[in-house]
């Protein structure tokens, strides 16, 4: 008969205790690694996620009738300065690329002369990836990509009510005259969270000779203009006199027609930067890149019909609740505000008007069928 010493039980206990501790330690390390990996930002891969858009052709009465096989990569010098073209500027990044793709498609689809449209895209990172993404979905699109250095403006940015408004690329619209070739005299600037349902040539043809204006945009004179600046601004006599000889109205900077020649001649980028420098010293506004534009241009722009910016469809800057269209005709729908249609659609919580954006969505899904 085998006899077990009483000392063998403690040894056996400590043996299993050691195994248990080692197991728990391995589980802890595994959990830590998983958490660390999850906390690391995932690289955004956008190439090949979007379908190829249909090709659109000029109508017979267009100023030019480009051949469908035009090689936009090699003859860029010949078209980039075209005065007959409609020049459109937009910013590009991996966060809003889905919105940008829909906006581009809507511009082309509703244009009577889509081959006469030249896009100028501004990005601050991933330029090669963004370039290839645009090329893959729009093989015949005439466009250029310009690099915007965040450092140019990052030191001038003050925190605002929503972090998305503090992105340096959000301020690139103030530097278009410096980025786009001098031969381009007039441009239509568009945000990425909108779609057109009308011919952009109508908007681009807005005359800027009135008031010798630098830009045109829909004005909203019923809005409370004092809301866009702090009590510190209005209580300062020298600052509040900024609008003394003007009749300032709010306008949304997501849709603008800009005379780049006048902008350069008047050095308006510097004027905007001066207000941003003052904002760093004393809090005079809360809303990101909009207030400097209002300080420089409000009351001195050419007013465009409200149909060209049915804005606010993304709700406010805090909750992004659903909103209805403003009364009147519609040429452009703009999801300004916190709520974006592609985010709400993916979350299965769309607003009714998000259904108007969905047909322009080029995202390639597993169930997509080529038409």
Per-residue confidence (pLDDT) for residue 160, from 0 to 100: 74
DSSP secondary structure, 67-85, as one string: -TT--TTTSHHHHTT-SSS
Per-residue confidence (pLDDT) for residue 21, from 0 to 100: 43
Q: Both tokens of residue 231?
A: 């009590």
Per-residue confidence (pLDDT) for residue 63, from 0 to 100: 77
Per-residue confidence (pLDDT) for residue 93, from 0 to 100: 95
Per-residue confidence (pLDDT) for residue 37, from 0 to 100: 42
Q: Does the model's pTM come out above 0.75?
A: yes
Task: Give the length of the chain.
Answer: 371
- Nearest CA to 296 out of 227, 215, 224 is that of 215
Cα 230 from chain centroid? 26
- Which letter does DSSP use for residue 363 in this model? B
Strand segments, DSSP code E, in the chain are 86-91, 117-123, 142-147, 186-190, 194-196, 215-220, 250-251, 255-259, 302-304, 332-334
Could you say which residues of the chain have pLDDT below 50?
Answer: 1-43, 67-74, 370-371
Beta partners for residue 220, in sequence order: 250
CB 124 within 8 A of CB 149: yes
Per-residue confidence (pLDDT) for residue 166, from 0 to 100: 81
């Amino acid at each position: 008969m085998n006899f077990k010493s009483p000392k063998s039980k403690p040894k056996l206990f400590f043996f299993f205790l050691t195994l248990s501790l080692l197991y728990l330690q391995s589980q802890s390390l595994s959990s830590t690694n998983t958490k660390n990996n999850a906390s690391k930002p995932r690289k955004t891969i956008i190439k090949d996620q979007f379908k190829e858009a249909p090709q659109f052709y000029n109508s017979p009465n267009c100023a030019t009738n480009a051949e469908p096989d035009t090689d936009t990569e090699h003859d860029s010098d010949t078209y980039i300065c075209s005065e007959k073209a409609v020049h459109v500027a937009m910013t590009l990044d991996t966060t809003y690329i889905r919105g940008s793709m829909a906006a581009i498609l809507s511009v082309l689809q509703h244009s009577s002369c889509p081959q006469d449209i030249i896009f100028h895209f501004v990005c601050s990172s991933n330029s090669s990836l963004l370039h290839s993404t645009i090329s893959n979905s729009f093989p015949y699109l005439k466009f250029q990509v310009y690099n915007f250095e965040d450092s140019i403006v990052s030191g001038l940015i003050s925190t605002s009510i929503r972090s998305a408004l503090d992105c340096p690329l959000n301020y690139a619209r103030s530097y278009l005259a410096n980025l786009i070739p001098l031969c381009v005299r007039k441009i239509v600037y568009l945000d990425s969270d909108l779609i057109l349902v009308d011919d952009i040539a109508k908007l681009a043809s807005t005359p800027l000779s009135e008031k010798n204006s630098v830009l045109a945009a829909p004005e909203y004179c019923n809005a409370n203009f004092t809301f866009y600046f702090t009590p510190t601004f209005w209580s300062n006599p020298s600052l509040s006199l900024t609008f003394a000889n003007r009749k300032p109205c709010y306008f949304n900077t997501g849709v603008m027609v800009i005379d780049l020649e006048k902008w350069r001649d008047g050095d308006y980028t510097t004027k905007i930067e001066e207000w941003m420098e003052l904002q760093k010293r004393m809090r005079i506004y809360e809303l990101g890149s909009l207030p400097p534009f209002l300080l420089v241009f409000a009351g001195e722009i050419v007013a465009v019909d409200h149909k060209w910016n049915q804005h606010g469809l993304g709700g406010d800057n805090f909750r992004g609740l659903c909103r209805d269209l403003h009364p009147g005709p519609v040429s452009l729908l703009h999801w300004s505000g916190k709520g974006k249609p592609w985010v709400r659609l993916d979350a299965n919580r769309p607003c009714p008007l998000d259904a108007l954006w969905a047909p322009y969505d080029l995202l390639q899904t597993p169930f997509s069928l080529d038409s």
